[in-house]
Amino acid sequence: MPNSSASDKVTSYGVAPYQIKPDEEYMNDAQQEHFRTILLAWKSELMEEVDRTMSHLKDEAANFPDPADRASQEEEFSLELRTRDRERKLIKKIDSTLELIDSGDYGFCETCGVEIGIRRLEARPTATLCVDCKTIDEIREKQIGG
C-alpha cells in the first residue's frame, strides 16, 4: 500500500485538509477561505438533498387504496421530512457560522475565547466550543439530564 500524506487525503465535500505553515497566524485569510469553501460545499449538498426530497415527495405521492401501503408511504414521507427538518436546522447553523467568518470571530471558543483548532474545525466546521469547554458542557448535560 503506498504511503499517503495529509495533502493526498480529501476531507468532507472534496476539500483537501488545510496544510498549516510554520509560524502561520491562526485564522488568517487563507484559513477562513478554506472553511468558507467547506461550509458552502456542505450547504450546497444539503440544499440538493432538499430538492431531491421535494421531487421524491411529488413523484411518489399516491393515494393507495390499501391502508397498509398508505401507512408505509406516510411513514416513509414522515421519516424523510424529519431528516430534512434536521438538515434545515443545520443549514441555519452553517449560515451563522459563515457570519462568524465574515465578522472575524470564527475559530474561537464562544465560552473561553481560546482557539478551537484547525483539525477540530475540519472535523466539525460548525463547532463553537473548544474541546475542553465542549467536554464540560457534555458533563453538565449528563448531570442535569440524568
Contacts of 62 (CB under 8 A, 6+ apart): 73
Q: Which domains, ranges and CATH numbers included, belong to the chain?
A: 26-106 (1.20.120.910), 107-146 (no CATH)
Mean pLDDT of the chain: 86
Report how far apart the first and last C-alpha atoms of the chain are (Å, whole number).
47
| Segment 35-92, tens digit of pLDDT | 999 999 999 999 998 888 877 777 776 677 777 877 887 888 888 888 888 999 999 9
Does the pTM of the predicted model rise above 0.85? Answer: no
Residue 75: predicted pLDDT:
85
Write down the pLDDT at residue 131.
95
